[in-house]
Each structure stands twice: as C-alpha cells, then as structure tokens.
Amino acid sequence: MRQPGPAPSGLAGIPAVSVLVTFVLHPQLAADTTVVAKLDLCRVLLMEDARYPWLILVPQLADLKDLHQVPSGHQAALWQEINQACTVLEQVTRPYKLNVAALGNQVPQLHIHIIARNPEDTAWPGPVWGVGKAQPYGEHNRAELIKQLSAALGTGTTAGE
Amino acid sequence: MRQPGPAPSGLAGIPAVSVLVTFVLHPQLAADTTVVAKLDLCRVLLMEDARYPWLILVPQLADLKDLHQVPSGHQAALWQEINQACTVLEQVTRPYKLNVAALGNQVPQLHIHIIARNPEDTAWPGPVWGVGKAQPYGEHNRAELIKQLSAALGTGTTAGE
C-alpha cells in the first residue's frame, strides 16, 4: 500500500492557485464579449456592443455572486483594477461620464460593468441594460479598440482566451 | 496694521474639515431619501421606495462625479463603507442578491446605489431604475427599517440632517 507522502514538489506554499484554477468564465459572458486583458485578479472583457464602449471585469475566483463576498485578501486588488479600468476607458474613449455597476440578476457570476456614457448615446440618460439590441463591432473597429485599451492597461497584446 | 498671526486655536491640524464643509447633498437626493447614518466618509441614505430596500451612499466630498475620481486618500474608506453597507443591508433584509451601482447620469453628484433584490420584486430580473413609480414607506415601516439599519451600521440612532 502506498503511504501518504508530502504534497508533490512545486505545489507547496501556493494555496491561491487552488482557488484560481476552479474559475471558469460564465458562458454567457464568454459569448457576449472579447477578452481585452487578464490582470492579476480580473479578466477584462469588451462587451460586443458598439453603441457604448463597455468593459466587464470578472474576478477570476470561483463562486462569487455579490461584490461584498470578494475575500478580504482580494478586495484591494479588485478596487485597484476597477479604478484602473475606469481610468483607461476614460482615457481611450473620452466619454462624458462612466457608469459602474455590479448587478448580476441574469448572469450570476460576479462581474462589474464599466460603461462609457455620452448624452448622445441610445439609452441616455437611462441605464443601458435592456435598451434596444446590441450593435456588433466591425472587425477592424473591435481590434483597434482592444489594441488601444490593452496598451493603456499596460498589458500590450490581447491576452486571448 | 494687524500682523499675520497663527491660525485661530482649534483649527490647526484638521485640514480635512476644509474639504468636508464644502459638501452639500444634491437636492434631488435629499428629496428622494431619508438619512440613515453618517459614516466617516459617506452619508448613508434610504431611498423612499418600499418596493426595494435601497441604500444610497454619498461620499461627503465636493465636486465628485465618477467613482475613480475619489481622491486616493479616501478610496479605502469608500470601498470599506460600500462593503459595510452591503453587509448590513443583506443582514437586515435578507435579499436574494444585491445590486451595486454608480450611475449618476441624471443626478451628477457621485452616489452609490446598493439595492436589495429578490426574484419577486417589480423589476426583476432587470435593473430598478425607471421601472414604475416609487412606493412611499409608511411612517412606522420607514422608522423601523432605519432603526434596524442604523443599529447594524453601529451608528445607533438616526444621524439627522
């Protein structure tokens, strides 16, 4: 009979990995977005709706529903990355203002919307959710916006899925 | 001629006050809510809509529009108070989930909505903004909810305006 032994070499001392590996992006978020970057905590996604420059941040941790459930050891990173994404979206798209929201009534995996809003946009001054139909980006416009966002985030190239 | 002298006694060493005194709650927020508490950074307000237990946090700093404009020295307090308000609203009202959002398209003063949501509520699964008409609380129900929220926030009694 094999005796229980120590953990395999290379796995000791990195408990965070056991949390990270169980994260799987919700299929609805995957279907509606393109990956812009992977930051330390969050995956940064571009919503496929050319009516509003619209980022979605998803903390790469399993089983999170609401904002205040983010473990205390990850909260500072979350807020830092929300601030970073806001700053970058503002810098690249120069909107009138930003909307930031964690709703999650329809897609239960915790995700944070960061949306560039302008008085000329379709939904103004209301919120964007449920208003009309998403307008897909053209290939060139999507690629160009992701390139600019990714460069401003300091992640350089698209991280890919 | 009077010589310049030291600052009047009692004002030295508290520069934060010069920021705080310029804060004035936006009249629309004042009209739509009742004060629950004043935390170190934010005023905590109860939205006058009995369809959803709904708090609004307003950082008591002048001239803020978007979330990422909160000065770095106040950001940790903001996120801590958002977490605290989420935890308290959940504890007192036991909702299915929370919605947290900083929109501000109509009322430009930075304010953060924290809304208790349930699959039985009027707007579910959509966002609450712009859906139907607000339903006022009865006096007793409003007072009782504020008492419970205030106690859970550790502020005891209503702070008043």
Instruction: Identify all chain B residues contacting A104, using CB atoms and an 8 Å cutoff.
Output: 97, 99
B94 touches chain A (CB under 8 A): no
- State residue B140 phi and psi, 5-degree precision: -65, -45
pLDDT score at A7: 42
pLDDT score at A22: 87
Label residue A156 by pLDDT band (50, 70, 90): confident
Label residue B9 by pLDDT band (50, 70, 90): very low
Instruction: Tell which of A54, A96, A105 to mutate to test the B interface (max B CBs under 10 Å).
Output: A105
Label residue B14 by pLDDT band (50, 70, 90): low
**Dist. CA A144–CA B39, nearest whole Å:** 44
Residue A125: closest CA among chain B residues belongs to which residue?
B105
Is B87 in contact with A68 (Cβ distance < 8 A)? yes
What tens digit of pLDDT does each residue of B95-131 get?
A: 999 999 999 999 999 999 999 999 999 999 999 999 9
Average pLDDT, chain A: 89
- Across the A:B interface, residue pairs with CB atoms under 8 Å apart total 90
What tens digit of pLDDT does each residue of A13-58 get?
A: 555 554 445 899 999 999 999 999 999 999 999 999 999 999 999 9
How large is the ipTM?
0.85
Is A79 in contact with B83 (Cβ distance < 8 A)? no
Among A66, A79, A103, beta carbon nearest to B127: A103
pLDDT score at B156: 72
Residue A123: closest CA among chain B residues belongs to which residue?
B105
Does the global pTM surpass 0.90?
Answer: no
A86 touches chain B (CB under 8 A): yes
Q: What is the 3-state secondary structure (H, E, C) of chain B?
A: CCCCCCCCCCCCCCCHHHHHCCCCCCHHHHHHEEEEEECCCEEEEEECCCCCCEEEEEECCCCCCCHHHCCHHHHHHHHHHHHHHHHHHHHHHCCCEEEEEECCCCCCCCCEEEEEECCCCCCCCCCCCCCCCCCCCCHHHHHHHHHHHHHHHCCCCCCCC
Average pLDDT over residues B132-160: 89
